[in-house]
A and B are shown apart, each in its own frame.
Chain A
Amino acid sequence: MLKIKNLSVYYGERQVLKDVSLDVHSGEVVALIGPNGAGKSTLIRAVSGVIPVRSGEITAGETDVTSLPALWRARQISVVPQAVSMPPAFTVWEAVLLGRTPYLNFLGQTSAADEALARRALEQVDMLHLSGSRMDEISGGEQQRVLLARALAQSTPILLMDEPTAHLDLRHQIDLLKLIAAQAREKGLTVLIALHDLNLASLFADRMAVIEGGQLCMAGKPGDTITPEMLKAVYRLPVHVIPHPESGAPLVVPEVS
């Protein structure tokens, strides 16, 4: 379980996150939504320990992670970043094995158990057949799945994702989100995922956290948060919200008139 309490973050003197509090339970997928520049990536980066926290608490299970050394934090929280600026010459296999870093000795030697976990992770994202390929030989979508495999190999109770579907085609978007939802349910994984696509968020997330101007302005079930009023207020966009024909989940379509 991930607990964020009164989190404030600054870039220099500019406050980019204001007093954000959010709980994500074990087994739950929470989608972080909001317009560009609202602070979604900043929240992911702050929770993962990459940018310093000015005030507030972040706890993983019972552990306060804000003061934890990087190595220990990496055993609690893994991150799937956006697939930009990948070093091209690493192979898929080498990249996924790096997910085992928090458990390796000072030489970075991997054991058979580490390799088994990496292989399992590659199987889960359907990339095992490309494990010998170099990162620049595969597509952007495949790179994104490699990064997910790396995070799964990291075997942490908490998984953070920053726009993991940005480079994927529709089928792979659905496959990836299904896989994550299944992981959360089966393994009790705690998932916080920044998403642009409101409809995908609505279909696959248990709860939504709406962030705007560095503040968390709403959190709740998709049915309670995805409303024309919220979208007008946060995205400044007039929309219709219609129910999904099977599940009834709220879907967003823009007004055309």
Chain B
Amino acid sequence: MPRTPLLLSLLILLLTLVLSVAIGSVFIPFDELWQALRGAGNETYASILWNIRLPRTVLVMLTGAALGISGASYQGLFRNPLADPYLIGVASGAGLGAVIAMSIQWPYSFWSLFIVPLAAFLMALLTVSVVYFMARIGHTVPTTNLILAGVAISSFATSLTSFLMLRSTEEMRRALGWLLGGSIQIGWTSILAILPFLTIGTAVLLISGHALNLLQFGDDQAQQLGLNITRARGVILSAASLVTATAVSFSGIVGFVGLIVPHLMRMWTGVDYRRLLPLSLIGGASLLLIADVIARVVLAPQEIPVGIVTALAGAPFFLWVLKRAKNQGFW
């Protein structure tokens, strides 16, 4: 794998990480940032950094990475340029799962924090399976069918979610902001809760690049080249859904990152999924960090949910891809 895109994307990530911890309602100057990271310097800055900025930055980074790599995986799996966790309804399904878990028991304790991503995962798997079987004609999933099925299932899941939230407690009303893509501020605990799921799912996807390459040539050729397509599909679908569900569990439904990032990376370095998956992982993290910084400063000191920022940028991008997908040049 050529090193340059990887190194460059890591450099961009590092830059966005620094911006994300420095910028907010209180700006932390770079020299103070360095001091605070080393555990010295101004105590107020240190407190903001360790208790607010860093946990949020890490959560946003993990969420973006998750959405980037799962978007690339869904696109490869469905052989469809518009497959994005948000557009195909997986994110809404995961959101429903998370809300069901939260309405049974609001996650105060560390262990109940584990239940939320698990419930989100199960609902995400259910959603993606329903969408896939509804949209499929023979061995292909036409764009129109995919989007229609995604929209229908997504609306259904969102209605159920709203219903659950209306007839619920004070705590659940707080979850409204979360659903729009504002993270629940639980600090480091929520990060610890999602890290194992995220690590497993991401690791599985990162080694699935070659299988996704083969699947681009259709089922027949993939099998004739030696791929067990049923197993490969099942593994990739589960891992992508696990990763999406985990991201949704604590960051809400953030749209379009999984659409934008893989496309930009594809235009930059081509379609080889062994390159595309790690680059989408890193690129997703950078993009969401930038979106989150914008969400924090645009109406400062008030914050807007990051999902609004990604949708504002993502919806026009979606239309552009839709138009471009007709002549399929780079896909």
Q: Are A101 and B214 in contact (CB under 8 A)?
A: yes
A71-B228, A74-B226, A89-B270 given as contacts; is B213 within 8 A of A108 (CB)?
Answer: yes
- B207 / chain A contacts, CB cutoff of 8 Å: 106-107
Q: Give the residues from 41 to 97 in chain A that come closer than 8 angstroms, CB to CB, to chain B.
A: 45, 48-50, 69-75, 77-79, 81, 85-91, 94-95
Question: Which residues 20-54 in A have Cβ within 8 Å of B in the complex?
Answer: 45, 48-50
Min CB–CB distance A43 → chain B (angstroms)? 14
| Minimum CB distance partner of B213 in chain A | A98
Interface residues on B, range: 20 to 34
Decide: B223 and A49 in contact? CB cutoff 8 A. Answer: yes
Query: Could you tell me the distance in whole angstroms from the C-beta of B138 to the nearest C-beta in chain A?
Result: 12
A86 to B213, CA, bound (A): 12
Interchain CB contact under 8 A, B223 and A86: no
A108 and chain B: residue at smallest CB distance: B210
CB distance from A178 to the nearest CB of B (A): 24
Q: Which residues of A contact B234 (CB under 8 A)?
A: none
Whether A154 is near chain B, meaning CB under 8 Å from some CB there, is: yes
B328 CB contact (under 8 Å) in A72, A77, A88: A88
Q: Find B226's partner among A75, A91, A107, A136 (CB 8 Å cutoff).
A: A75
Within 8 Å CB of B331, what residues of A? Answer: 87-89
CB of A99 within 8 A of chain B? yes
Q: Evaluate contact between B228 and A70: CB separation under 8 angstroms.
A: yes
Are the CB atoms of A99 and B219 closer together than 8 Å? no
CA–CA, A48 to B227, complex, Å? 12
Q: Are A45 and B220 within 8 A (Cβ)? A: yes
B218 at the interface (CB under 8 A from A): yes
In the assembled complex, the CB of B54 is this many whole angstroms from the nearest CB of chain A, namely 33
Query: Which residues does chain B contribute within 8 Å of A85, judged by CB atoms?
Result: 218
Q: Say yes or no for A104: interface residue by CB 8 A criterion.
A: yes
Tell whether B274 is near chain A: CB-to-CB under 8 Å: yes
Q: Are A107 and B223 in contact (CB under 8 A)?
A: no
Known: A108-B213, A136-B329. A99 touches B220 (CB 8 A): no
Given A70-B223, A104-B210: A90 and B271 within 8 A (CB)? yes
Chain B binding surface SS class: loop
B115 to chain A, nearest CB (A): 32
- Chain B CB within 8 A of A223 CB: no
Contact in complex: B224, A107 (CB < 8 Å)? no
B40 CB to nearest A CB, Å: 43
Asked if B272 CB lies within 8 Å of chain A CBs, one says yes
Chain A, interface residues (CB within 8 Å), range: 35 or more
Closest A residue by C-beta to B273: A108
Q: Which of B219, B225, B227, B228 has the most CB of A within 10 A?
A: B225
A89 close to B226 (CB less than 8 A): no
A102 at interface, CB cutoff 8 A: yes
B9 at the interface (CB under 8 A from A): no
The reply on B133 being an interface residue by CB < 8 A is no
Give the Cβ gap from B321 to chain A, nearest Cβ, in Å. Answer: 14
B145 at the interface (CB under 8 A from A): no
Known contacts A90-B271, A107-B210, A50 near B224 by CB under 8 Å: yes
- Find A101's partner among B79, B209, B216, B227 (CB 8 Å cutoff): B227
Complex Cα–Cα for A73 and B228 (A): 11
Q: Is B155 located at the chain interface by the 8 A CB criterion? A: no
A70 to B223, CA, bound (A): 6
A73 proximity list for chain B (CB < 8 A): 226
Residues of chain B contacted by A99 (CB below 8 angstroms): 225
Q: Does B51 lie at the interface of the complex (its beta carbon under 8 Å from any beta carbon of A)?
A: no
Most chain A Cβ neighbours within 10 Å, of B79, B221, B271, B328: B221
- Quick check: A74 and B329 within 8 Å, CB to CB? no
Q: Which residue of B lies closest to A71 (CB)?
A: B226
The reply to whether A101 and B225 contact each other, CB–CB distance below 8 Å, is yes
B110 at the interface (CB under 8 A from A): no
Chain B contacts of A91 at CB under 8 A? Answer: 270
Chain B neighbourhood of A49, CB < 8 A: 223-224
Output the least CB separation between A83 and chain B (Å).
11
A239 to chain B, nearest CB (A): 33
Residues of A within 8 A of B217 (CB): 86-87, 95, 98
Q: Which residues of A contact B228 (CB under 8 A)?
A: 69-71
CB-defined interface of B266-279 with A at 8 Å, one 1/0 digit per residue? 10001110100000
Closest B residue to A147 by beta carbon equals: B221
- What is the CB-to-nearest-CB distance from B191 to chain A, in angstroms, rounded to a whole number? 28
A-B contact pairs, 30 of them (CB 8 A): A48-B220, A49-B223, A50-B224, A70-B223, A72-B226, A74-B224, A78-B224, A79-B220, A81-B220, A81-B221, A85-B218, A87-B79, A87-B217, A87-B331, A88-B328, A88-B329, A88-B331, A89-B331, A90-B213, A90-B216, A90-B270, A94-B270, A99-B225, A101-B226, A101-B227, A104-B210, A107-B209, A107-B274, A136-B329, A150-B225
* New A-B pairs, 14, CB < 8 Å, besides A50-B224, A101-B227: A48-B223, A70-B228, A71-B228, A75-B226, A79-B221, A81-B220, A87-B271, A88-B328, A89-B270, A98-B217, A98-B225, A101-B226, A108-B213, A150-B225
Which 9 pairs across A and B sit closest by C-beta, in order of nearness? A108-B210, A74-B226, A102-B226, A87-B216, A89-B271, A79-B224, A71-B226, A101-B225, A101-B226
Binding site for B on A (CB under 8 A): 45, 48-50, 69-75, 77-79, 81, 85-91, 94-95, 98-99, 101-102, 104, 106-108, 136, 150, 154
